[in-house]
Amino acid sequence: MATARVALDADHAARYEAAMSLAHYVTLGHSGLRVSPLCLGAMTFGREWGWGSEPEEAKRILDHYIDRGGNFIDTANGYTKGHSEAILGEHLGHDRKKRDRVVLATKFTTSMFLGDPNAGGASRKAIIAQCEESLRRLQTDYIDLYWLHAWDKTTPIEETMRALDTLVEQGKVRYLGFSDTPAWKVAQAQTMALLRGWSPLVALQIEYSLLQRTVEGELVPMAQELGLGITPWGPLRGGALSGKYKRADRGKHDASRGARVTSYLDDRTFDLLDVMERIAGELGTTVPRVALSWVQNQPGVASTIIGARTMEQLDDNLGALDVKLTPDHVKALDAASKPTLSFPADMLSAVPSFAYGGTTINGQASTAWSNAPQNDDERF
């Protein structure tokens, strides 16, 4: 898999040297599935959660995204109580040409039937039942990419992977991915699938933004090593990085997503927003586009999931494809958002100093470790 990682890194670097558009497709992980560099998230389709788009507005957003060349749509069985899938089904299910053109992704794990212990989770019974329900709501006979929404620790991972392989064999699912799961568990599942000849995972969906970079400790390098295309969700942290929240109004903010947004509106975030606003001004663009451009240009990222409740939000987000951050811009954003990673990240960052012997390896220079033997006479 290391060869796959090198190839993915090279492809990632090359494609961002050129101008991007929704119709400049990328392959998803170690697969031949072609997707747009920005994925349309449909969690905002429907008003059942108290915020989101009315069905007709959602359909206009969907058409506009497709007309611009977009082909990657992401939803889940539990989004807006199933209405998100139903809206997509109503709009795509009757048009086979349009349905076949898009890469339609949905997720399982959420229980849609309270009181039934087997309605949710990742058991064989639950997976197959949830898949059938999603196919019905989506008005389609296959799902292009089927995600585990989050790790279900009550179910053996071999049961989950074998059930998913069965769905692929039956033609009900084309590709598989994991979302919101620890790196060690994803690695276990992928290794098991490869060794047993089951359908492998091709993608990893994780929260990733300038405010959520702890994934760089384990999840991102794991995805690169195992050939999983990363599809970040929450690149604007629920709107905290939209630029609409100002330091002067601190303590008075009211967000539709509640504490998930307001808990992040602290001095560190506003210092980061100051940097983002400066960069946006220099590039003649917007703060959300700066945030999206940064995420989309991170190593291992294939397609970033964007959400939009209005056509204006969609157009603003799509404009991120036109933003070209300079190395100085990236350096400033990295510094303002530097995360604290868990062990052994700090320890591993010191490896070049005591393992490279003062040489340069794979482009990374090292300073000779002062505690190492400095000449032949010092070695035992």
**344 lies in a domain?**
no
Span 239-265, average pLDDT: 79
**3-class DSSP state of 217:** coil
For residue 5, the model assigns a pLDDT of 54
Each residue's pLDDT tens digit, 55-103: 999 999 999 999 999 999 999 999 999 999 999 999 999 899 999 999 9
For residue 19, the model assigns a pLDDT of 46
CA distance 202 to 200: 6
**252 lies in a domain?**
yes
Strand partners, 104: 73
- Six-digit token pair at 303? 């397609």
Each residue's pLDDT tens digit, 136-163: 999 999 999 999 999 999 999 999 999 9
**370 lies in a domain?**
no
**357 lies in a domain?**
no
Q: Are 152 and 109 in contact (CB under 8 A)?
A: yes
**352 lies in a domain?**
no
**342 lies in a domain?**
no
Residue 283 domain boundaries: 2-329
Strand partners, 201: 176
Domains in the chain, number = 1
The CATH number assigned to the domain holding 154 equals 3.20.20.100
**205 lies in a domain?**
yes
Asked if 79 is an active-site residue, the reply is yes
Catalytic residue among 16, 25, 79, 175: 79
